[in-house]
Amino acid sequence: MTVLATADPVQELDLHRVNINDPFLGQYQRLVRDVVIPYQWDALNDRLEDTEPSHAIENFRIAAGQQQGEFYGMIFQDSDVAKWLEAVAGSLCQRPDPELEQRADEVIALIAAAQCEDGYLNTYFTVKAPQERWTNLAECHELYCAGHMIEAGVAWFCATGKRNLLDVVCRLADHIDDVFGPAEHQLHGYPGHPEIELALMRLYEVTRNPRYMALVNYFISERGKQPHYYDAEYEKRGRTAYWPTHGPAWMVKDKAYSQAHLPLALQQSAIGHAVRFVYLLSGAAHLARLNHDAELHKTCRRLWDDMVNRQMYITGGIGAQSSGEAFTSEYDLPNDTVYAESCASIGLMMFANRMLQLEGDARYADAMERALYNTVLGGMALDGRHFFYVNPLEVHPRSIPFNHIYDHVKPVRQRWFGCACCPPNIARILTSLGHYIYTRREDALYVNLYVGNTTQLPDGLTLSISGNYPWHGEVTIAVKTAQPVQQTLALRLPEWCEDPVVLLNGKPCAGEVKRGYFHISRLWSDGDSVTINLPMPVRRVYGNPLLRHIAGKVAIQRGPLVYCAEEADNGSALHNLWLDPRAEFRVIEGAGVLKGSLLLQTPVQRISSENARNAPLYRYDMPGMPDAAPQKLTLIPWFCWANRGEGEMRIWLNEIR
Amino acid sequence: MTVLATADPVQELDLHRVNINDPFLGQYQRLVRDVVIPYQWDALNDRLEDTEPSHAIENFRIAAGQQQGEFYGMIFQDSDVAKWLEAVAGSLCQRPDPELEQRADEVIALIAAAQCEDGYLNTYFTVKAPQERWTNLAECHELYCAGHMIEAGVAWFCATGKRNLLDVVCRLADHIDDVFGPAEHQLHGYPGHPEIELALMRLYEVTRNPRYMALVNYFISERGKQPHYYDAEYEKRGRTAYWPTHGPAWMVKDKAYSQAHLPLALQQSAIGHAVRFVYLLSGAAHLARLNHDAELHKTCRRLWDDMVNRQMYITGGIGAQSSGEAFTSEYDLPNDTVYAESCASIGLMMFANRMLQLEGDARYADAMERALYNTVLGGMALDGRHFFYVNPLEVHPRSIPFNHIYDHVKPVRQRWFGCACCPPNIARILTSLGHYIYTRREDALYVNLYVGNTTQLPDGLTLSISGNYPWHGEVTIAVKTAQPVQQTLALRLPEWCEDPVVLLNGKPCAGEVKRGYFHISRLWSDGDSVTINLPMPVRRVYGNPLLRHIAGKVAIQRGPLVYCAEEADNGSALHNLWLDPRAEFRVIEGAGVLKGSLLLQTPVQRISSENARNAPLYRYDMPGMPDAAPQKLTLIPWFCWANRGEGEMRIWLNEIR
């Protein structure tokens, strides 16, 4: 459908109006502001020791003609700068910082200087291969880089009111719209790595220029058609390929890797590179809403369902394999060879965000919360300087150096990467939490996440959400308002909570449960207070019967947090710990680096491996629990694993049947 | 040590004297004779359709100057011809076949014609790169090909009495002994892929020429010394590398891959390419015995122990990973991503055979039997035309196409391979079983395997072993002799048998148990009959506590056979079958393609996955056995899995604790 519709009342709240003051996530925002953003600035300017130089800022200087030199870095290096700018934009909304703002403005001026006359912007091609512009969409990330820059331009405008970067990216978008399209002189192509789609939708939201949405519709409609664009451009450029791994021209040939094997409307499963998938679907869902495309909406829902109901880890991680950083197939979720890239869970949050705008259904927010509080937070160390690219649910460090199925698994977080996409992504998500906490829909203001914040709504209400989530489930929403305002608040009832209680001004609250949200329609007065009590007993979690990797195992969850066992607390050979299905859990406070967290303890049976190295590999006829002795199992929230050095870790544990 | 000792009384029995008439393994010998050897002949002569041409015979014709053309095939293609000859030699010992013998003699004449003046023999280098002889030992398999040809020469001589191939390989060995050694003009090198060592020891056994054993001692002593020979030859040839996978010159750089990272005496674990490891250790153990090298013997035992006690599968498979076709590390034995190459288990048998010659200890024979009756037999289909290269303990075919950790796993056996090492290896093992059944040591004739056969011993005794092993444990050894002979028979008491009974002429037999063998020293008379009763109850097998992959699981074994569950009998989702530790097993006869086998049945609980695709991925608080219903589990011997099409298979099954 190419309906170009008028604006829709669903809009993201202005981040300036959402002031995060959550004791838990607030510290992550501070970490981003005080450590990650400056750290990334140093990285972009090649000031970090012991780290692969980024050369990202340098590349822009060379492209702008301010400096001589060669391009250096990944073909998508520009996107690191864009993501940094976006994180800065979000951070300024939380706390103004004139020095930081000026530094960013200087970068923007540099970017503008690196932009070509016709609007094209990409330092790799400008510096290194200007004739090769737009000749290899399948592999060369031009539209990907453009998309991230567009997102930065939108974010900068929203944060500062300044048009400096917005104007740059509009010229870029206009140029892209000239190059791509159905006309004979245009390229009938679409990106390898999706990103431009979701970016152009954000640009459309702030500019309301219909050509941007039409272009997104074009990109998504063309994708996967036969004869295939990637093959045609491959022939046209003489069969050259950029990426050498996995065989010749694999990124051209493996169409499913980029979800371009079929038109999206015909696709049935989450497949291929996980980050590409969720970025593509984020753009598609945003388009479906603003373009009133019911078929595309259905497609988005079908693919969301396959991802979440057949291919997602309990941690909100997606992408079960290292090869291609990709999905595998339904119900195939190994815990130790998993990929679960941090960026992919961020993309899952973005996709969820668009689905929430389409449908006020808590299942999207449930998955979004699961991804945020487990994989996304788990991707960053508590010091803000070390990151996980890959997020396993089980590690056995002694085996990692020798078994190459674990080549991608690190048992501890790493400093900045050569391919540095995850840390800046984590940074920009954490500085734009307001977009995920709330969804403004026509029928209500949806509260998806119980992150402490004070927010001014356009209709005059000021909400202050407070509590000590995710450790405790008592949340208070205090209302301030100059005059009474009619509004519906939709409060999410998390799927992990059996007996939520909602009180209004101390008394049971009248409302309606619709698709996992408790809707309170009311004329709100100043001083109104809603209390949501979300009991957080320790829950045992079991896998679908088709999940062969966790047959007979149990995972422990409390509130939104998935827990795990580490060697530091429990000794090695974690597979020898057997939970008792009838045993209770104690909640205790963490100490040291885990101070502020809540840990869990339960009595378990441990099978001894004390003399195992002298025992045979196989023995006969000793069923039951040989050499089992009681032990106290300590579980920590999985997001704070690997903060105490290298050791075994496991989420899914054996349980006595 | 460079002690060059005189002949040792331990010798392999002449295969002519060992007539295999076993109802079970006899059919495999017939399969090799009637199907595999002719099939391989067609392969070597490029007569198979739908298969990568071998070009192996063609290469020899070109090298002999009888034909024009290019070399084609793997750099070690010559070894396929050598292995074929060795299988033919073994087969002729069982049943003369003048036509086959003549065909082999013609091949030998061709090989002799392809040999160079100086004794060098290798079609790849002779045809393609004569200047590059001996310049890349790390990668180019020259000594490997020489070794296999030497083995063929020895086998042909032993089988036929003819020296035609023996003379060729002696000239080859003499040439190699000229090229390699400590003198200044010689190359101080040793092979990448070990094989020459065990081959030269066999050549030494039949020729008693001390230079061959001295050369083996040289190769083994030099291996892994610093500065490293692989690096030196790499520099000398200008840093060219033959094998491109895994990164530049990986076969040169990854020293552990070829067990050349350290001198053998300093090595502590089984590491690297599994076939290389067992071939190297076979040669080393043979040398240790004939050279009276106690230190080397100790090394062989230490590395045997690490392999069998820390890195071997219940199937006798070794090599836990596809990358490098290699060992991983101790206790790291995944069942689904395993490699367990057929050739590696054959090599384990060869290594065990040498250790049995060194020590009359049944633990070597136990592992040898485990490898033979499970992985080696499992490597070949019951039709003799399809083979497994990789032997997994668990397959989930639906996941294989999508998850690249399974790229090396086939759920059904394949027709001839491009890299065709396994089928000929299986063939030559199965035609030389006599060497594995018996070990003649100074103190006794050891009976390692209860394979039906009639054997004439040099001292005048004729033994006829009969029974229906591995299905039943009653074995009879009937003695025939012209006059009474004093001899000690040492009968292996398998480690899987709790209550063996040995009778002599119907009465309890006097004897001594030494290291797993029942020694009967006696003046044997004509008509003496020994009955060995090896009860074969169904045994439950459990893993060492350090084996994380099988914590909570059980495997079923009966006699030497490991059993498995297949989808064809039990439905899919085999992980949802839960054995009852107290339930009994019924033994039943197989039918159809499994006719002649014994199957096992036991009642289990099955967790239903009927509505699973409509159920969420994770659910809370339902411990125990949800939706479990009784089912009858049917187990088949694992060696005959995958003979009924594609389907799930599992050895290690869940058991209720």
Burial of A463 (0-12, 13-18, 19+ CB in 10 A): buried
pLDDT at residue A3, as a whole number = 39
A349 with A434: CB under 8 angstroms? Answer: no
Q: Which residues of B touch A602 (CB under 8 A)?
A: none
Q: Which of residues 148-177 of A touch B (CB under 8 A)?
A: none
Could you tell me where the DSSP H helices lie in A11-141? 25-31, 37-44, 56-63, 78-94, 98-114, 123-128
pLDDT above 70 (res B7): no
C-alpha to C-alpha distance for B411 and B404, rounded to whole angstroms: 14
Among B149, B123, B133, B130, CA closest to B61 = B123
The pLDDT-based confidence of B417 (bands split at 50, 70, 90) is: low
Looking from the CA of A72 toward its CB, the CA atoms found within 13 Å total 15
B271 with B262: CB under 8 angstroms? Answer: no
* pLDDT > 90 fraction of chain A, expressed in percent and rounded: 89
Q: Which residues of A touch B546 (CB under 8 A)?
A: 573, 609, 612-613
Chain segment B380-391, per-residue pLDDT in tens: 988 888 899 999
C-alpha to C-alpha distance for B20 and B29, rounded to whole angstroms: 8
Q: Mean pLDDT across the stretch B287-302?
A: 98
Q: Which of A322, A540, A576 sits opposite B620 (nearest CB)?
A: A540
Which range (A455-459, A491-495, B174-178, B274-278) has the least confidence?
A455-459
User: Higher confidence at residue B176 or residue A384?
Assistant: B176
pLDDT at residue B9, as a whole number = 60
Q: Mean pLDDT across the stretch B442-465?
A: 96
Q: Mean pLDDT across the stretch B34-59?
A: 90
Size of interface A-B (CB pairs under 8 A): 187
- C-alpha separations of B349 from B194, B615, B637 in Å: 16, 49, 20
pLDDT above 80 (res B242): yes
Chain segment A262-320, per-residue pLDDT in tens: 999 999 999 999 999 999 999 999 999 999 999 999 999 999 999 999 999 999 999 99
Q: CB-based contact (8 Å) between A547 and chain B?
A: yes
Which range (A125-129, B26-30, B141-145, B188-192) has the least confidence?
B26-30
Chain A: residue whose CA lies nearest to B547: A617
pLDDT at residue A124, as a whole number = 97
The pLDDT-based confidence of A13 (bands split at 50, 70, 90) is: confident
pLDDT at residue B535, as a whole number = 97
Which DSSP string do the residues of B179-219 spell out, in sequence order?
HBSSSTTSB----SS--HHHHHHHHHHHH--HHHHHHHHHH
pLDDT above 50 (res A5): no
Q: Mean pLDDT across the stretch B583-597?
A: 96
* pLDDT > 70 fraction of chain B, expressed in percent and rounded: 98
Among B419, B379, B364, CA closest to B51 = B419
Q: Give all strands (DSSP E) within A377-461, no chain letters.
A: 394-395, 438-440, 445-447, 453-456
Residue A358's SS3 state is helix
Chain segment B531-545, per-residue pLDDT in tens: 999 999 999 999 999
| Residue B421 falls in the annotated catalytic set | yes
Chain segment A113-127, per-residue pLDDT in tens: 999 999 999 999 999
Smallest Cα distance from B235 to chain A, Å = 26
Q: CB-based contact (8 Å) between B202 and chain A?
A: no
Residue B530's SS3 state is strand
B492 with A616: CB under 8 angstroms? Answer: no
Chain segment B340-383, per-residue pLDDT in tens: 999 999 999 999 999 999 999 999 999 999 999 999 999 998 88
* pLDDT > 70 fraction of chain A, expressed in percent and rounded: 98
- Hey, CA dihedral for A235, A240, A246, A247, is it positive or negative? positive
Chain A interface, best mutation among B273, B333, B548, B553, by max A CB count within 10 A = B548
Domains of chain B: 17-439 (1.50.10), 444-533 (2.60.40.1180), 538-614+622-655 (no CATH)
Q: What is the ipTM of this complex?
A: 0.95
pLDDT above 70 (res A9): no
pLDDT at residue B421, as a whole number = 78
| Residue B325 falls in the annotated catalytic set | yes
Q: Verify whether the Cβ–Cβ distance A405 to B403 is below 8 Å.
A: no
pLDDT above 60 (res A453): yes
Chain B: residue whose CA lies nearest to A496: B620
User: Higher confidence at residue A354 or residue A424?
Assistant: A354
Q: Mean pLDDT across the stretch A23-52?
A: 90
Q: Mean pLDDT across the stretch A125-134?
A: 95
Q: Which of residues 371-410 of B touch A (CB under 8 A)?
A: 396, 398-399, 401-405
Helix (H) or strand (E) holding A472: none
B94 with B33: CB under 8 angstroms? Answer: yes
pLDDT at residue B4, as a whole number = 40
CB under 8 Å, gap of 24 or more: what pairs does B60-63 form? B60/B107, B60/B110, B60/B111, B60/B113, B60/B114, B60/B123, B61/B110, B61/B114, B62/B123, B62/B127, B63/B114, B63/B123, B63/B126, B63/B127
